[in-house]
Structure 1
Amino acid sequence: MSITPTSKVLDIRGAQLGVTDSGADDLPVAISAHGLSQSRAATIRSGIGDYRLVGSPEAPGGHRRLISYDARGHGESSGSTNPADYTWPNLALDLLALADYYSPSAPVSGIGLSMGTGTLLHAVTHLPNRFDRLVLSAPSTAWQTRATQVRMYAAMADLFEHGTPDELAAAMKDAPLPAVFADVPGYGLQPDVDLSLLPAVFRGAGQTDLPPHEVIAGITQPTLIMAWATDPGHPVSTAEKLHELIAGSELVISESSADVRTWPRRAAAFLAR
């Protein structure tokens, strides 16, 4: 049995989060968390990180009740100008609150993309028993590779705070696009975050990192890791290290946007095992 997806706004830890609920109440729950400066709507527009198939009757092996949401400060969700609100450990508390709301008595499956993967890893290492399976897609720079990305976030925050409209437009136009997405028109060019919040969002991203190696190594849930190539902000090396640390995990590396678009089907099949 399936139901028409419904959207609403929930008060979660002082923020109003836009949430879409796909699937019948009696299905096991999966929660999907998007990437930095993106949203539910942005993933649908680009087709990158759109995991709606997981909540569809067409999902291979059977579907789940998919809960997708806009992180605080993103899309239809409210936010603040406090950078600490956008660190991955804080965003993880929002994800855990949603898990408690939609599945108070049973563990959920987690699906993350980029920032969402960082959020999910902090959530599962904070409260492991709340999760049964993990899909970690497009893991961001982490640990020794993160310093360059942190400097870029700081520069972006300063630009959004002090730059002129022409400077902002030029920065968007000149933003490097990974070769893997050269055939995806407009991918990543327009942040789905209010301009007044963008400096705090980027500064928060720059103040955070994945949990330490020894903490990640304690993850016992079945885990699927999917990375795309040619993107310094999401290096394959992070995915490979996660694969090394999480016993029994599976690793997929995609060299084209067409292969990245297979991720929802891979995720659905993995969660249905």
Structure 2
Amino acid sequence: MGTTPKTGPVTEGRFRHRGAELVYDDAGEGLLAVYAHGGFTSQDVEHRMNLFDWEPVLRAGRRLVRYDARGHGRSTGRPVDEDYTYVSLADDLMSLLDHLDAREPVDAIGASMGCGTCLHAAVRQPDRFSRLVLLLPPTAGATREGYARANRAAADTIERQGAEHWLATRGEARRPAAAADVPEFPPTPPELILPAVLRGLARSDLPPTTALAALERPVLILTWADDPGHPVTTAATLAHYLPQTELHIARTRADVQTWGLRIANFVTAE
């Protein structure tokens, strides 16, 4: 859910970690911010969605590194369920910081699956992060089991009948008003890997509330209303337990278009 940055050149980088080659885009100058996208998308797909504008973040003097999660987009992956849990994806994020030689705490931005990635990385090694931006927190706790069942069933269907059959029969999901006109795209993980991605995410959840309550970092939470896959209840729960939070709920596309500036103002606040 992003446009390609126009402020200066974008450099592609690659590194290998735990059986995969991970690909990232590096733009801008200044303090480092990293972005982890949502499940089944990629940087290219988010560009074509044209939902989110990164320009304010770059103009605010941030070096922005956005990467394709393992098995997504340009990054490779293995058909191993465990590789796609939030905990394993958090390990990828910290390996990216090592590859970038990030010696100072960084700003971490994550959407949906990327939100889980960033939170697990931050509770594990909080000193590596300065601020967190959580976009569209996913199902968690009580709302996670239905998501997990659907993912496991989808993985079984793909293995028996193929990804095209699953995509043709999964039906129309209810879409929030804030994203009603955003085009949809098929999942970016290849069919060989897709069942493992689905099952890995089915085995994932956000960190426990005790870990969240101990995370003394400023956090900005941005979500939208009326999306069962990203329920406001998750955002509200995070806002309740995380010690330093701002929460904004979008109800229109115009609200979502303010997110880039909100993020830029948040990461540069004194």
Q: Could you tell me the TM-score, scaled by structure 2's length?
A: 0.92
1:159 is displaced (CA, Å) by 1.9
Partners of 1:258 and 1:159 in 2: CA distance: 38
1:15 paired residue number: 20
- 1:110·1:135 contact (CA, 8 Å) conserved in 2? yes
Choose from 168, 178, 194 the match for 2:175.
178
Distance in 2 of aligned mates of 1:98 and 1:51:
23
How far apart, in 1, do the equivalents of 2:169 and 2:220 lie? 34
Instruction: Tell me the CA shift for residue 195 of structure 1.
Output: 1.4
Q: CA 1:54–1:155 in structure 2 vs 1: closer, same or farther (change >3 Å)?
A: farther
- Whichever residue aligns with residue 43 of structure 1, its letter is E
Q: CA deviation at 1:170?
A: 1.6
Instruction: For 1:177 and 1:163, locate their aligned partners in 2 and report how far apart those are by CA, in whole Å.
Output: 25
**CA pair 158-54 structure 1, distance change in 2 beyond 3 A:** farther
Range with bigger deviation, 153-162 or 208-217: 153-162
Cα RMSD of the aligned pairs, angstroms, is 1.7
Shift of the 93–166 alpha-carbon distance from structure 1 to 2, 3 Å rule, reads closer
Say if 2:224 and 2:251, in contact at 8 Å, map to a contact too: yes
Partner amino acid, structure 2, of 1:233: G
Aligned residue in 2 for 1:110: 108
SS of residue matched to 1:219:
coil
What's the CA shift for 1:182? Answer: 5.6
Query: How far does the alpha carbon of each residue in 1:222-247 deviate from its partner, in whole angstroms, 9 at most, with x for none?
Result: 11001111111110000000000012
Moved more, 221-230 or 174-183: 174-183
Q: How does 1:62-141 map to 2 (within 5 A)?
A: 62-141=60-139
Runs of 4+ in structure 1 over 3 Å off? none
Relative to the length of structure 1, the TM-score reads 0.91
Gaps (5+ residues) in structure 2? 1-6
Task: Return 161-170 or 28-37, whichever deviates more.
Answer: 161-170
* Equivalent residues of 1:29, 1:103 under 8 A apart: no
Q: Match for 1:266 among 251, 254, 262?
A: 262
Tell me the equivalent position of 2:144.
Answer: 146
Task: For 1:98 and 1:168, locate their aligned partners in 2 and report how far apart those are by CA, in whole Å.
Answer: 33
Partners of 1:22 and 1:165 lie apart in 2 by 34
Distance in 2 (alpha carbons) for counterparts of 1:131 and 1:138: 20
SS at 1:249's partner residue? strand
What residue in structure 1 maps to residue 4 of structure 2? none
Task: Tell me the secondary structure at the aligned position of residue 251 of structure 1.
Answer: strand
Pair 1:38-2:41 in alignment:
yes
1:29 equivalenced with 2:27 (yes/no): no
**2:55 aligns to what?**
53
- Structure 1, unaligned stretches of length 5 or more? none
| Residue pair 2:19, 2:78 contacting (<8 A) in 1 also | no
Amino acid at match of 1:12: H
Q: Tell me which of 217, 221, 235 is aligned to 2:217.
A: 221
The answer for the alignment partner of 2:3 in structure 1 is none
Who is 2:202 aligned against?
Answer: 206
Measure how far apart 1:55 and its partner are: 4.8
- Which of 230, 247, 250 is the matching residue for 2:246? 250
Task: Count residues in correspondence.
Answer: 263
**Counterpart secondary structure, 1:41:** helix
Helix, strand or coil for the counterpart of 1:225? strand
**Do the aligned partners of residues 170 and 131 (structure 1) sit closer, same or farther apart at CA in structure 2, a change above 3 Å counting?**
same
- Distance in 2 of aligned mates of 1:16 and 1:166: 26
